[in-house]
Amino acid sequence: MNKDNALQYLPLIHALADGKTIQHHYGDMSWRDKNDSIGFGSSPENYRIKPAGPKVIYVSTYPDGSGISYTEAQVAKIPAITKSKIELVKYVEVIDEESK
């Protein structure tokens, strides 16, 4: 961290102070929890606040194969689509515990 990029680290520092877990991105494309002292020696994009849980999206698929994705909050607001030929599919992210 230096004076030129210190502002990019502020959300991470605030999250750490709030007790949230910070993760570091490694060369093998995995994110791992930083439970030890964090020195922020890498660039800011190599750190993130650990996501709260798996991501969930809903996709409405039309007969022509096209589709639109929605968040859970958006899905709650759309009318029941099961009466039409539109299929609503829920996708849940799988988190690989070994890559943590």
- The residues, ordered by sequence, that sit 6+ positions from 95 with a Cβ below 8 Å of its Cβ are 54
Q: What is the mean pLDDT of residues 15-25?
A: 90
Q: pTM of the entire structure?
A: 0.51
- pLDDT value at residue 14: 93
- The residue extents of the domains of the chain are 6-49, 56-99
Higher pLDDT among residues 87 and 25, named by residue: 25
Residue 100's nearest CA partner among 50, 30, 9 is 30
Mean pLDDT of the chain: 80
How open is the CA angle 91-97-100, to the nearest 5 degrees?
A: 115
Instruction: Say if residue 8's pLDDT is above 90.
Output: yes
Confidence label for 100 from pLDDT (cuts 50, 70 and 90): very low
- pLDDT value at residue 7: 93
